[in-house]
């Protein structure tokens, strides 16, 4: 079916979206409470990576357009920062309720532009919504302090205030949750936002903006700007260097994070960076030699049960890679490992019969330090298994990286659990559990995996600063 309803449309025939989904599909950016185009009227296409079909077109904004969003957020800050915590809490709760009510439609839009299976998109919506619920409650728990004075005629008070306008730059792999985890905390603290979603997945961000507006978020408080890759570097530079922006929160590659950090340093901005990971269940396994062969055999059987395909089809568990650049990266990492002696247990090749961006679920052993797979995040259906002999060797391998986001290990020895947890140089450790992220826990890394924490009551602190009041002559 094909509909054109003002700026909205159904993305393609096979989606079979209900009519109530139409109002969530938006092809304009959201600035100062209005749906806006680029000043030069340029647009770029958003494609479904599973089949190459165009899902929609959105504005390809330049720095002048983004400056308009910054100005709107700056103006809105004057009133939003003065709202009561209860008012902000109420609006965030309404946003959460609307996100829940429209969860099925949001998941379909996410699958259409990201290619992830619908069951995974549904899971992300639940996960992403939980941050809005959490921070709607935390808004009323931003507390200050009264400190005992060293002299009798003074009162020492510490207040928390919003840092100001914040720029949120989010990735394609979690197009819903990475926005809600940042924006809900910022809004709860009294900050206003300029959000730049990934070029591959802007439609989910615009859907969140639509529902935020319905929830009563005032104009200028929540802005979403879209741009293609050709404008991304200039837009990012503006967000980092604008004196109107008080803080940056970025989730993405370590390389880009370092660049943004350098640009922010010129104005001493508040920076939150969630960057590259380490050996974990999405990238590599360290397996003790006594159970190595058994593990490889069982893991290989499990991988063969993975169903590749279009995320809207029944039973699909893994979709395509997001774009051709990512496909080429995954392919080059596997080919590099092959050429340097890695053993391919399962997969190891493109799945071109399914589409241009599909890659076979792959399991590799005989991994060496000089291979790219040993050092780089794959962001693809590729697992590498490394054999170790002793606990000390495993910890040394895990820590032999500049990254330190998350790691996971399995043990039935209580002493070992706490010993290894302490020795791992990571911001987060999963012990006998792979699904560790939730709204209640602080998410973030150490070393080159970032600065700051998201989620939990610590997440809201990224968007506040302390103001000390000394009242004398009492």
In angstroms and rounded to an integer, the radius of gyration of the C-alpha atoms of the chain is: 23
Question: Are residues 97 and 70 both part of a single domain?
Answer: yes
Mean pLDDT of the chain: 93
Domains identified in the chain, total number = 2
Query: Phi-psi category of 5—alpha, beta or left, where left has phi over 0 and alpha has psi -120 to 50?
Result: beta
Question: Are residues 39 and 184 both part of a single domain?
Answer: yes
Asked, for residue 406, whether it belongs to a domain, the answer is no
Asked, for residue 6, whether it belongs to a domain, the answer is no
Q: How far apart are CA 387 and CA 50, in angstroms?
A: 35
Q: Which residue has the higher pLDDT, 22 or 137?
A: 137
Contacts of 84 (CB under 8 A, 6+ apart): none
Range of the domain at 302: 284-400
Q: Residue 21 pLDDT more than 70?
A: no
Question: Are residues 240 and 293 both part of a single domain?
Answer: no
Residue 215's domain is classified under what CATH number?
3.40.605.10
Question: Are residues 130 and 70 both part of a single domain?
Answer: yes
Average pLDDT over residues 361-374: 94
Q: Is the pTM of this model over 0.85?
A: yes
Which structure tokens are listed for 239?
Answer: 């967000």
Diameter over CA atoms, the chain: 80
Question: Are residues 161 and 44 both part of a single domain?
Answer: yes
Question: Are residues 358 and 237 both part of a single domain?
Answer: no
Q: How far apart are CA 161 and CA 83, in angstroms?
A: 12
Average pLDDT over residues 431-455: 95
Choosing from 344, 367, 400, the residue where a domain stops is 400
Choosing from 343, 373, 400, the residue where a domain stops is 400
Question: Are residues 162 and 295 both part of a single domain?
Answer: no
Question: Are residues 60 and 86 both part of a single domain?
Answer: yes
Asked, for residue 265, whether it belongs to a domain, the answer is yes
Q: How far apart are CA 435 and CA 431, in angstroms?
A: 10
Band (pLDDT 50/70/90 cuts) for residue 130 is very high
Band (pLDDT 50/70/90 cuts) for residue 439 is very high
pLDDT digits (tens, 9 = 90+) for 386-417: 999 999 999 999 999 899 999 999 999 999 99
Question: Are residues 86 and 172 both part of a single domain?
Answer: yes
Question: Are residues 384 and 456 both part of a single domain?
Answer: no
Question: Are residues 87 and 193 both part of a single domain?
Answer: yes
Strand-strand pairing, 284-288 and 382-388: parallel
pLDDT of residue 2: 32
pLDDT of residue 24: 81
| Beta carbons within 10 angstroms of residue 343's beta carbon | 14
Q: Residue 10 pLDDT more than 70?
A: no
Which stretch of 76-80, 285-289, 376-380 has the lowest confidence by average pLDDT? Answer: 376-380
Q: How big is the CA angle at 254 (ends 132 and 43), to the nearest 5 degrees?
A: 65
pLDDT digits (tens, 9 = 90+) for 287-324: 999 999 999 999 999 999 999 999 999 999 999 999 99
Average pLDDT over residues 124-135: 98
Question: Are residues 265 and 289 both part of a single domain?
Answer: no
């Amino acid at each position: 079916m094909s509909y054109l309803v003002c700026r909205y449309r159904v993305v393609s025939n096979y989606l079979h979206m209900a009519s109530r989904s139409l109002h969530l599909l938006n092809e304009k950016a959201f600035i100062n409470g209005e749906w806006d185009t680029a000043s030069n009227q340029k647009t770029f296409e958003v494609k479904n990576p599973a089949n190459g079909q165009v899902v929609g077109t959105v504005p390809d904004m330049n720095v002048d357009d983004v400056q308009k969003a910054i100005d709107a957020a700056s103006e809105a800050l004057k009133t939003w920062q003065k709202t009561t915590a209860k008012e902000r809490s109420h609006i965030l709760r309404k946003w959460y309720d609307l996100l829940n009510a429209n969860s099925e439609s949001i998941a379909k839009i996410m699958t259409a532009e990201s290619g992830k299976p619908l069951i995974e998109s549904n899971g992300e919506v639940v996960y992403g919504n939980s941050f809005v619920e959490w921070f709607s409650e935390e808004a009323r728990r931003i507390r200050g302090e009264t400190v005992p004075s060293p002299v009798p005629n003074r009162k020492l008070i510490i207040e928390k205030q919003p840092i100001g306008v914040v720029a949120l730059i989010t990735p394609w792999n979690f197009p819903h949750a990475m926005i809600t985890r940042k924006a809900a905390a910022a809004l709860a603290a009294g900050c206003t936002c300029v959000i730049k979603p990934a070029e591959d997945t802007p439609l989910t961000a615009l859907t969140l903006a639509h529902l935020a507006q319905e929830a009563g978020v005032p104009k200028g408080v929540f802005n979403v700007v879209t741009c293609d890759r050709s404008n991304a570097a200039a837009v990012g530079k503006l967000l980092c260097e604008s004196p109107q922006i008080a803080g940056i929160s970025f989730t993405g590659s370590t390389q880009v994070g370092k660049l943004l950090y350098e640009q922010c340093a010129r104005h001493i901005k508040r920076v939150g960076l969630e960057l590259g990971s380490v050996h974990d269940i999405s990238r590599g396994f360290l397996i003790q030699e006594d159970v190595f062969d058994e593990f490889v055999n069982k893991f290989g059987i499990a991988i063969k049960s993975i169903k590749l395909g279009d995320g809207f089809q029944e039973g699909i568990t893994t979709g395509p890679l997001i774009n051709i650049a990512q496909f080429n990266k995954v392919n080059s990492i596997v080919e590099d490992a092959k050429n340097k002696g890695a053993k391919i247990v399962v997969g190891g090749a493109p799945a071109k019969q399914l589409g241009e961006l599909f890659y076979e679920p792959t399991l590799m052993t005989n991994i060496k330090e000089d291979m790219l797979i040993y050092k780089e995040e794959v962001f693809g259906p590729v697992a590498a298994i490394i054999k170790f002999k002793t606990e000390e060797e495993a910890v040394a391998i895990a820590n032999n990286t500049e990254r330190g986001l998350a790691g996971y290990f399995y043990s039935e020895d209580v002493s070992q659990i706490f010993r290894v947890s302490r020795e791992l140089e990571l911001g987060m450790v999963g012990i006998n559990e792979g699904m560790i992220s939730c709204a209640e826990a602080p998410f973030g890394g150490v070393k080159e995996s970032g600065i700051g924490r998201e989620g939990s009551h610590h997440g809201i602190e990224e968007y506040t600063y302390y103001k000390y009041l000394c009242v004398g002559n009492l």
